[in-house]
Amino acid sequence: MRQAWLLVLLCSALCSPRSLALDDRYSAYAGLLQRHVEWTQQGRASAVDYAGLQTERGRLQAVLVEFSAVSRVEFEAWSARQQQAFLINAYNAYTLELVLGRYPALKSIKDLGGLFSSPWKQKFFRLLGEERTLDWIEHEVLRPRYRDPRIHFAINCASVGCPALRPEPYRAELLDVQLDDGQRRFLGDRRRNRFDAASGVLRLSPIFKWFGEDFEAGAGGSLRAWLAARANQLAEDESARARLRAGEFRIDFGDYDWSLNALRR
């Protein structure tokens, strides 16, 4: 009887889903990012070597198989930080796979959509037991469940206008540091966010228009208050920072560059 029970336990261990052993350091994914993503613009943006990544597409797909194997039960047993890190990594990795499916015959991720379709609404992968879209990760889970506007500086839409894809995966124990760093880098990118002291205009990325409610929720209902609290990241000159802190600015939104964030050597 004892031997039979031991056989049952052994079978259970060997037959358990791969997801139970998901590497929370995301080592295989980390290797791909380190080899094929580079910081640009003095570390305020990044670019992807899609040609190089294409040669390792099989390794990327193996990572995605592991992501897809995670069950809803396992996911719900994780901490909030573990869940967030996993979802951000999944969003970014599946976006890379989506681009590679057409690369190099595309200039923008929008080329993968159509007149009545969007690449973010395509069901092209399984996650937590069901067919999913990128929009599902962002708008149905990450935004409403965790209510952290910093995720907008972490998920990457494969576009020049998007905040940087980090050359490393997100990890639960580093998540707050990584999210704060991503926010700092993006707010410090003067191509997207800059204060014109002469006109008093703070010109911002359209991300702040599209998702203004997410930033307002963490700042007493005001995007201006959220921005004023981050004056040190939005300007270098102390007098400009003082004006931002005092709310002495008008907001204008710039254009969004949807061209592919491909590395150009």
Domain boundaries in the chain? 16-190
**Whether pTM exceeds 0.85:** yes
Residues near 129 by beta carbon (within 8 Å), at least 6 away in sequence = 71, 72
Element (H, E) at 196: strand 194-196
Written as six digits, the tokens of 80 are: 């909030």
Residues near 219 by beta carbon (within 8 Å), at least 6 away in sequence = 225, 226, 229
Give the C-alpha distances (Å, rounded to integers) separating 165 from 23, 70, 96, 146, 218: 20, 23, 10, 20, 24
- pLDDT on residue 9: 33
Amino acid code (one letter) for 104? P
- pLDDT on residue 207: 98
Rounded average pLDDT per 10-residue block, the chain, 265 residues: 37 40 92 98 97 98 98 97 98 98 97 85 97 98 97 98 98 98 98 97 98 88 94 97 97 98 91
Residue 141 and residue 90: Cα distance in Å, rounded? 12
- pLDDT on residue 215: 96
- pLDDT on residue 21: 58
- pLDDT on residue 240: 98
**What three-state secondary structure class fits 259?**
strand
